[in-house]
Structure 1
């Protein structure tokens, strides 16, 4: 270690060195000053790219936390119409399945196993009655769930 040269420091600088010495439990102001210089040297040797990456990471974390709710709401609003379309398609399939079950029940009840034409070619009175019954049932259920008739 070399003998110190004369430095002129402001009162604030001397106070900073003294505070640093006490905070880090160092035996002298000379060691505190040396530690401050070493810290400065290490920090100044950090490449700028590393600092930019650190700052970018912190900014992205902050943006993620603040925009998370906004992005989630936007995603829900975007997907909701598609999910509703899927729901309506499922309801339609459910309606057709219920109609089919009603018809099968009627056939087995009467135990009349004659030729059964397709619904498209010759819808029977039983099919029409079953369809009206199931549609009414679905409307009532929808009305109870949403208080509308749509």
Structure 2
């Protein structure tokens, strides 16, 4: 005798036909229906587990691809900024050597009007680029929908 719990259930004729067809197809001829039902449930659980694993892998793959694209853009922007900064340092250093400047006044001590003008210009340029990028992103999303 089996060590399971005895339960009585009402099953539709269609369900019984499915259990019988499954038993015949899988070679459970002569087996009790509870053995067949347990096998169907086991296969269903295995399939659900595999399905969950597959979905997890797909999500991870998609996130990896998206992150790679975003990080590549950031890396390119960082490289460009670093290159521009190094060029500016070299230019300023050359000017300092050419003018025989021995020391400087920092912007903490006194900020010249040209520096304030340059900061305002850069601030507006960045704001414009952010707005342009937001508009382009919005247009791409609308086209996908």
TM range (shorter): 0.3 to 0.5
Q: Which has the higher contact order (CA 8 A, sep 6+)?
A: 1
Report the TM-score, using the length of structure 2 for normalisation. Answer: 0.39
Report the TM-score, using the length of structure 1 for normalisation. Answer: 0.38
Max Rg structure: 1
